[in-house]
Structure 1
């Protein structure tokens, strides 16, 4: 069995897409060993609980400094020893120590076609606001490996989504999730689990 750990911060819609893909057999021989959130109020933790998945909150607010938080998160990940760590809407920068400890074993979903609208400051609605401001006709989502940079790791899979007249950041965000993120994140997990990505 290929074990993954999902790191989440909010509603957990990408987590839900992975859970569904495992349940309906789109992803085979994969189990979510644990879900970890930096936010105790994240609905993603409720989704994990409802699916019978071990879950916990490790919040930076519980520590006197960021180094202690990073160490606690690293210790937890080491104890779980997953085959893959999936950042499924995790709004915390991963420390270099974690990246080094799990080299080529961490993936992230980003709501644009990298290299567009990515890097420092580009997350959540800000990505879609920037795309609309620039006037692009096509946007999308990217799953990539996590390295020491921000959104700079090797690209695994991308999917394009049309920008429609009258879109605002929220309608565009929803369409990118539905037409791209929820499709390619489970697909990337499946590809990695089956040795299709090196």
Structure 2
């Protein structure tokens, strides 16, 4: 049984999609054993507690330096026995020390079709604002492994979402979540939990 730690910053809708997928059997051989947020008021922590999952806040504001914060986060992840770390709307950059401690064991969901609209500054509504401003006809979501860059790790799954003429950043954000994020993030976890994902020279292969 793969032990999964989920890192969140806000409401936790992606976390809920994961929990629902575990409960329904769409994710097998995995369980969420820890939820961590940098935000003490994140509703995701309440979702976790309601599900009987350990939920903790580890905020940079509680530490004298960023390095101390990183050390505390790494310590908690290691103590939990986490075998896969899922960034589900976690708005804090993961430092190299954590990436190196969990090589190809950290995944992230990004609300665009990488390499479009990704990298530094592309988070939350900014991604959808940029897509609409550029006038692309299709956007979507990407699940990728986390490396020491920003949205540069090996791509696991992608799903496209059509942009409608009357879309706003807010409506597009909702559409991408419902049609793509909530589907491919649980799917990626299930594939990893069942040994279907391998990485070679930055390329992900998914076996049958």
Is TM more than 0.5 here? yes
The CA RMSD over aligned residues, in Å, is 0.5
Unaligned runs of 5+ in 2: 199-208
SS of structure 2 residue aligned to 1:113: coil
Superposition pairs for residues 131-170 of structure 1, below 5 Å?
131-170=131-170
* 1:86-114 residue CA offsets vs partner (Å, 9 max, x unmatched): 00110000010000000100000000000
Residue number in structure 1 paired with 2:203: none
Q: Does 1:47 align with 2:66?
A: no
Q: CA–CA distance in 2 between the matches of 1:112 and 1:157?
A: 12
Offset at residue 29 of structure 1 (A): 1.7
Residue number in structure 2 paired with 1:67: 67
Residue number in structure 2 paired with 1:84: 84
Offset at residue 76 of structure 1 (A): 0.6
Residue number in structure 1 paired with 2:171: 171
Unaligned runs of 5+ in 1: none
Q: Does 1:107 align with 2:107?
A: yes
Taking structure 1 as the reference length, the TM-score comes to: 0.99
Q: CA–CA distance in 2 between the matches of 1:81 and 1:120?
A: 30
SS of structure 2 residue aligned to 1:82: coil
Q: CA–CA distance in 1 between the matches of 2:145 and 2:80?
A: 20
Offset at residue 81 of structure 1 (A): 2.1
